[in-house]
Amino acid sequence: MSQTVIFHIDVNSAFLSWEAVYRLHHLGGTLDLRTIPSAVGGDMSKRHGIILAKSIPAKKYNVQTGEPVTDAMRKCPNLVLVPPNYELYEKSSKACMNILHKYTDKVEQYSIDEAFMDMTGTEELFGTPVIVANAIKDEIYEALGFSVNIGVSSNKLLAKMASDFKKPNRVHTLFPWEIQEKMWHLPVRELFFVGGASERKLQTLGIKTIGELANADVNVLKTVLKKHGEVIWDFANGRDVSVVEAVPADNKGYGNSTTIAFDVTDGGTAKMVLLSLAETVARRLRKDEARIEVVSISIRFNDLSYVSHQTVLVSPTNITKEIHEAACRLFDELWDGTPIRHLGVHTGRVSRDGNNRQLSLFDHTDYEKLEKLDYAVDSIRERFGRDAIVRASFLKQDKVDHMNGGVSREKRTVDYSNEKVM
């Protein structure tokens, strides 16, 4: 039997790299953003002002992904900031995944810029794991213009750890017999699944490196970190039984949220935002032929405090109107008048076994008609674009996008006529 061989592919500084390649090869740019302190960042005026990706030179200034743009500019005043363009990222990601599928049909897209490949048994087709990993890395660079790191191992955890070694444009191996030499000396924070809270608890036990975690008493770890302690102890010892899933698992919940560009101070506007979120959530449900029984909403106020609430519906649904009405009932129970900056609609208890609606003598709503109407609207938007049909209630105001949540409209594309392309 062939030894299991798993690759983890990670695009180097993905958003920034894809933007740099597009500017160089399609917009006539001459300056490669990857070679200077630069970053992709949101629009501060719309409260999306965080760093989404940064170049390797920007790391020297300690610019961090996820930090406010204002903090990044304070660290690096000459930072070149470019706006996000998710349509470009999606196209670039798809092109990368197409190349991976040339080598195996067992590809699991882990995120927009990461994927796992099960390359077990392909040695006679393509050569040894390191040879084929380098071939994939080079093909991506030559065909698409951006670089990737590829980690090679016998399981997903170690392959992912290996891809995080020295960057960019590298192939690294991390097989079980290499763990002690290559991984155990690293800070425990660099182990997958170890966050800041876990790191602090481990440090109280005197554990600062992955090796110290691997050699710790697992019973002590379980006492301090519960089940999570055993999981990261296994990871520190290179143990992982998860498999590459070429077919994505069914969603266990659907949701969307949005940070609003202004403080919402009236219930009517808030409910319009909830409707725009219900539109996108319900559309995803219908696309997957799924229904939900639990609806929840979340509210973040302008003082950054947070509340949430949920309700169980009488019958499973994927109808926009039902989800919105449930969200509005929850909102009325939660809201105390404090100005709102962020709203979310989330769902749970997903089923895919058809329409099992419970009939009621007192409910005369024609749910079948509502569902058919929603599917018709979906079809029009799929064919002609999301703005091809808009609810009349949204025509009365221009503050709320009629389909909100996920990637906001201003992040989906960029008008490069307004951009200075160097």
Q: What is the pLDDT of residues 170-211, one digit of tens each?
A: 999 999 999 999 999 999 999 999 998 999 999 999 999 999
In a domain, 420, yes or no: no
Q: How many residues does the chain have?
A: 422
Domain identity same for 57 and 135: yes
* CATH (domain of 157): 3.30.70.270
CA distance 14 to 12: 5
CATH number of 293's domain = 3.30.1490.100
Q: Are 422 and 31 in contact (CB under 8 A)?
A: yes
Same domain, 3 and 116: yes
CB 109 within 8 A of CB 97: yes
If asked whether residues 143 and 195 sit together in one domain, one would say no
Residues of the chain with pLDDT under 50: none
Number of domains in the chain: 3
Q: Which runs of consecutive H residues, i.e. helices, occur in 60-195? A: 69-75, 86-100, 123-126, 129-144, 156-163, 179-182
Listing DSSP states for 279-332 in one string gives HHHHHHHHHTT-EEEEEEEEEEETTS-EEEEEEEEEEEE--HHHHHHHHHHHHH
Tens of pLDDT, residue by residue over 210-226, are 999 999 999 999 999 99
Same domain, 189 and 280: no
pTM of the model: 0.82
What pLDDT is recorded for position 252? Answer: 84
Say whether both 106 and 148 belong to one domain: yes
The one catalytic residue among 114, 279, 322, 371: 114
Determine the Cα–Cα distance for residues 58 and 420; give it in Å rounded to an integer: 20
Asked whether residue 373 falls in the same domain as residue 402, the answer is: yes
Q: Residue 46's pLDDT is what?
A: 56
| pLDDT number for residue 362 | 67
Domain range holding 327? Answer: 255-406
Q: Angle CA(40)–CA(44)–CA(50) in degrees, nearest 5?
A: 45
| Token duo for residue 142 | 């030559």
289 is catalytic: no
